[in-house]
């Protein structure tokens, strides 16, 4: 019996989902805020929190596997990990923005907490 393991599928295959979240996480870590749909923001929060925790603990290989951009990798270890080293969790905040005009999808802004 196949169980749902707690992740949203978002109508994507596993490889597409992993690639999408890797790109979205890189954009969030580089620009510190992005606008997307609410279900994607909720799932992205799980991904980004894990990457930041790995960076805080000095797990360079795991961070390198998750983030493919050199600029984001260096920013993560030089700026973001020291900023959140005393924080146990909750490095991101999701703000609901309302319905998108074209398809009425609920949008949200996810950003790093200052």
Q: What are the tens digits of pLDDT across the range 45-87? A: 999 999 999 999 999 999 999 999 999 999 999 999 999 999 9
pLDDT of residue 39: 95
Could you state, in order of their start, the residue ranges of all structural domains in the chain? 14-112
Sheet arrangement for strand 92-99: 33-37, 106-112, 92-99
Identify the three-state secondary structure at position 3: coil
SS3 content of the chain, % helix, strand, coil (to 5): 50, 20, 30
CATH level 3 topology of 14-112 = 50s Ribosomal Protein L17; Chain: A, (3.90.1030)
Beta bridge partners of 99: 106
pLDDT value at residue 9:
87
Q: What global pTM score does this model have?
A: 0.90
């Amino acid at each position: 019996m196949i169980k749902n393991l707690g992740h949203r599928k978002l109508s994507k295959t596993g490889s597409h989902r992993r690639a999408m979240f890797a790109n979205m996480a890189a954009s969030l870590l580089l620009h510190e805020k992005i606008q997307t749909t609410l279900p994607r923001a909720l799932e992205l929060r799980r991904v980004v929190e894990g990457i930041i925790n790995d960076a805080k603990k000095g797990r360079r290989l795991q961070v390198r596997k998750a983030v493919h951009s050199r600029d984001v990798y260096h920013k993560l270890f030089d700026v973001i990990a020291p900023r959140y080293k005393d924080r146990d969790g909750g490095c991101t905040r999701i703000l609901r923005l309302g319905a998108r005009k074209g398809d009425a999808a609920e949008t949200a802004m996810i950003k790093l907490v200052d």
